[in-house]
Structure 1
Amino acid sequence: MTERTGGSRKPNGRSSIYYSEADGLWHGWVTMGVKEDGSPDRRHRTGKTETAVTNKVRELEAKRDAGKVDRPGRPPTVEEWMRTYLDDIAARKLQPNTLRGYWSETRNWIIPYLGKHRLDRLQPEHIDRLYARMYEAGKADSHVLKVHRVLSRALDIAVRREKVSRNVAKLLDAPSAGDTEIEPLTQEEARRILAAADGRRNGARWSVALALGLRQGEALGLRWKYVDLDRGVIRVWWQLGRLPWRHGCGDIAACTEDKHRRPCPKNCPKAKRKSGRPHTCIPPTAPRLCPKDCQRHASTCPKRVGGGLVFRPPKGKSKRTIPLPPELVPILKAHRTRQKAERLAAANVWEDHDLVFAQPNGQPIDPRRDWDDWKALLAAAGVRDARVHDGRHTAGTLLIEQGVHVRTVQEILGHSDIRVTQRYTHVASPMTEDGMQRIGRALWGS
């Protein structure tokens, strides 16, 4: 056996190249660093000639000296990296509902179609095929775009951490979803809603929604300490959100207590197999096991933890201070007076969270209950069906129609991107009609 040490490395970190008569190959060993357990991270290369192995050794040494050292072992698959990205990286920054959406797209599309590919061998053609499958399944452009963004963001982090040399998702043209269509209420419809809300419990909730354009969570999370009725301003610094429940049963796959996964009704119309045949429901007495990483059914886990309604900062850069319309101030003052009386009547039952809009016992209003109240209010006002979020769209549209500059509207609504606010400009038809009347008078009028 012939051995030669290469380079001018220190004795305890030098690379070695030698010829082995046992297999007739040249072997090279390079110390790349230290593993997590403290042992040396030695990488092995082989070749038929000394020159070939020397080149491989020098390539590893160059990576090591440049600080571009891969973790020991084989590169991760797309599935392994997506789990690492979502569990260890994205979970620290994303809002709970956003993270839940990322996991949904990853489980349903990215892992089934791309999960087995090695991360460093993923090609644009693989992603093209994924998008083709989504379109074949009848998915909308917006859905495909969401999957593209989740995958591209995960690959961006992989490039930054030198797991791969490039983000192959950026070699594709991103799917175009176009502008999301908004359906604001008209000024007349908004007035009818406010008239129907007058005298209702928490009726001021909808005055705030239509005048200030707060998101549902921002309105339900508004507290009196952030409302200055003397100066006529509010600070939108918190919102009410719902965290998903997590399993507390330890071994999720083995958890069969109670009805851990709710059985489908026997007449369930949505439960279809891929073949299109009717779903055969499992009897309620039979155990139904969750996958090891399943969080979907954690809400029915007998030992569930970590979920429920919580206060958290607003979405993105939406922390803002908004002046109140003068007409809204007496409405909120009257609401506060009624709430104080309600609090005295509740006595020891009242839970003080300092909420502007609360249940009769002071607890936060569940967003689902808030949605029901909105639907009942629309029916009472004789207004067409609309989402709670359409109240926010209505506020933005009315502001534009009143001639408020789009940048000011962006600040009031808390949009991080002006392009989101500009969606309201093309629906403000009264301003368009007024503009055409003015140019008509300028060209042909006396």
Structure 2
Amino acid sequence: MLRNALQHAMREELVSRNVAKLVRVPSPRYKVGKGLSVDQVRRLIAVTEGHRLHALYVVAAPLGLRRGELLGLRWSDLDLDTGTATIGQTVQRAGGELRLQDTKTEDSDSMLPLPDWTWLALLDHQERQQRERERLAEVWQDHGLVFPSEVGTPIEPRNLNRHFAALRVKAGCPDVRLHDLRHTVVSLLMELGVPPHVVQAIARHADVKLTLKVYSHANLDAMRQALGKLDGRLS
């Protein structure tokens, strides 16, 4: 209504310019979570041993994939001969429907090398899934997904959240989120001295500033300790 009124006023030459252009809309703020300790990650992975989604967490822990990217990963996206993964598809719920969609940006759509630990877990997972597919041949609906439901269809993202919620309690980490694994990857790589632009490429952030923001937020305790030392010198 306001926009139409402004356009009418401009046509009648009541105002000389579109004052709506003077309105500044604040940029959306990226909410940064916390990272996990190495011990927490190890405990989370340990309690998934033997579960059909064990490999999902072994992929998430070092690569920091988003929830939809994990659920949208296809076998055709993996080259298990060279040990690489191309992230090009995501599972999202939109308009009340579960949809397989391309990743949003070129930064999201990129190739990542697979650490040996992850590569071996995927090889085991591939064999396990083949046995599962053969056992459930009558009801299996193949979508070529690496981490499908028990009948081959895309997993509802909220169901993965529920699984992780039970997992984190069992691991003694009741307050962490699945997305915190992504922040953990950034934090650990930066602590290991990996250059920010390389960490940015692995996390597939559009801007290295976001990579640094995630790292600084995840390392609040480290900054507190550092400033504590400075306080000891100055006080």
Distance 1:428 1:202 in 2: 29
CA distance in 1, matches of 2:137, 2:28: 53
Read off the aligned partner of 2:98 and give its amino acid letter. Answer: L
For residue 168 of structure 1, what is the aligned residue in structure 2? 20
1:182 aligns with 2:40: no
Contact persistence 2:141–2:152 (CA under 8 A) = yes
Deviations 1:46-73 (A, max 9, x none): xxxxxxxxxxxxxxxxxxxxxxxxxxxx
2:6 touches 2:18 (CA, 8 Å); kept in 1? no
Alpha-carbon distance in structure 1 between the residues aligned to 2:175 and 2:121: 25
Equivalent residue number for residue 398 of structure 1: 188
- Matching residue of 1:230: 81
| CA–CA separation in structure 2 for the residues paired with 1:377 and 1:405 | 32
Which residue among 193, 203, 225 is the counterpart of 1:413?
203
Partner of residue 5 from structure 2, selected from 97, 118, 137: 118
Contact map agreement 1:401 1:428 (CA 8 A) in 2: no
Name structure 1 gaps, 5 residues minimum.
1-76, 82-116, 123-163, 246-307, 437-446
1:372 counterpart (148, 157, 162):
162
Deviations 1:276-297 (CA, angstroms, capped at 9, x unpaired): xxxxxxxxxxxxxxxxxxxxxx
Match in the other structure for 1:153: none
Aligned-pair distance for 1:351?
Answer: 0.6
Q: For residues 27-426 of structure 1, what are the structure 2 equivalents within 5 Å?
A: 77-78=1-2, 118-120=5-7, 165-166=17-18, 168-172=20-24, 174-175=25-26, 180-245=31-96, 308-317=97-106, 318-426=108-216
Segments of 5+ residues of structure 2 without an aligned counterpart are 10-15, 228-235
- 1:428 Cα deviation after fit: 3.6
Retained in 1: the 8 A contact 2:60–2:181? yes
1:430 CA displacement: 8.8
**Secondary structure of residue in 2 paired with 1:310:** strand
Q: Which residue of 1 aligns with 2:232?
A: none
Q: Deviations over 1:259-306 (max 9, x none)?
A: xxxxxxxxxxxxxxxxxxxxxxxxxxxxxxxxxxxxxxxxxxxxxxxx
Q: How far apart are the structure 1 equivalents of 2:175 and 2:71? A: 21
Distance of aligned partners of 1:362 and 1:175 in 2 relative to their CA distance in 1, 3 Å threshold: closer
Q: 1:165–1:351: structure 2 CA closer, same or farther, 3 Å change rule?
A: farther
Question: Aligned AA for 2:41?
Answer: A
Shift of 1:181: 4.0
Task: State TM-score, norm by structure 1.
Answer: 0.45
**Aligned-pair CA distance for 1:182:** 2.2
Distance in 2 (CA, whole Å) between partners of 1:169 and 1:196 is 55
* Residues 3-60 of structure 1, C-alpha deviations (whole Å, 9 max, x = no match): xxxxxxxxxxxxxxxxxxxxxxxxxxxxxxxxxxxxxxxxxxxxxxxxxxxxxxxxxx
Cα 1:435–1:402, aligned 2, differ >3 Å: closer, same or farther?
Answer: farther
Look up the SS of the partner of 2:52 in the other structure: coil
Supply the distance in 2 between the matched residues of 1:216 and 1:339 (Cα, whole angstroms): 20
Once the two structures are TM-superposed, the CA of residue 166 in structure 1 deviates from its matched residue by: 3.9
Code of the residue aligned with 2:194 in structure 1: it is V
* Sequence identity percentage: 34
Partner of 2:12: none
Q: Would you tell me which structure has more helix in proportion to its own residues?
A: 2
Asked if the contact 1:401/1:431 (under 8 Å) is kept, the reply is: no
Match of 1:10 in 2: none
Give RMSD over aligned pairs.
2.7
In terms of Rg, which structure is larger? 1
Q: Contact (CA 8 Å) 1:241, 1:309: kept in 2 or not?
A: yes
Please state how far the C-alpha of 1:169 moved relative to its aligned partner: 4.9
Q: Structure 2: which amino acid aligns with 1:315?
A: K
User: How many Å separate the matches in 2 of 1:219 and 1:179?
Assistant: 21
2:137 aligns to what SS in structure 1? helix
User: Whose relative contact order is higher, 1 or 2, with alpha carbons under 8 Å and at least 6 apart?
Assistant: 2
- So what's the TM-score if we normalise by structure 2? 0.83
